[in-house]
Amino acid sequence: MTLRNRSSKRALASIALSFEAFVVFFATLTAFGLKAADISPNLPRVEIIWAIGLTVSLLCILTPAVLSKPFGYALGWLIQAAVLASGFWLWGMFVIGSMVAGMWIWALVAGGTIDKARANFEKLKEEGNDADTSSN
């Protein structure tokens, strides 16, 4: 029985981005309620808040699908920067954005460590099987 070897880094990063989609959506609701885009009376405020918030939230949902591509993790970092930058309109997003960026960093570091340990384990297991078959 062979199991498909999946990347823990990708799985943990996907979980972090999925959680972040909810955070961004609720931050969008907060920005809408607080009228955070009241910068100029000529700008369509509601459309700006919802367009930016829903776009970033959708990117959080769709990015796990492209984490296997070379640009996937770069897109994840871009999302982290956007969430942190939203703190200029909602000061609480500096704090919350730091937390979700910390989750993102932890997912990449812990996932990479798990993947390396799994690869090392598989290598040692292969060497053990080779030694068993050569001694028989």
Write the pLDDT tens digit of every residue in 8-37: 999 999 999 999 999 999 999 998 888 766
> Rounded CA gap, 103 and 98, in Å?
9
Where are the chain's structural domains? 8-135
Successive 10-residue mean pLDDT values, the chain, 136 residues: 74 96 94 73 74 94 94 96 93 95 97 94 85 62
> Rounded CA gap, 64 and 10, in Å?
8
Phi, psi of 3 (to 5 degrees): -100, 145
Q: What is the pLDDT of residue 25?
A: 96
User: Between 45-62 and 8-34, two packed helices, what is the crossing angle to 10 degrees?
Assistant: 170
> Rounded CA gap, 58 and 12, in Å?
18
Q: What is the pLDDT of residue 62?
A: 96
Q: Across the chain, what does the average pLDDT equal?
A: 88
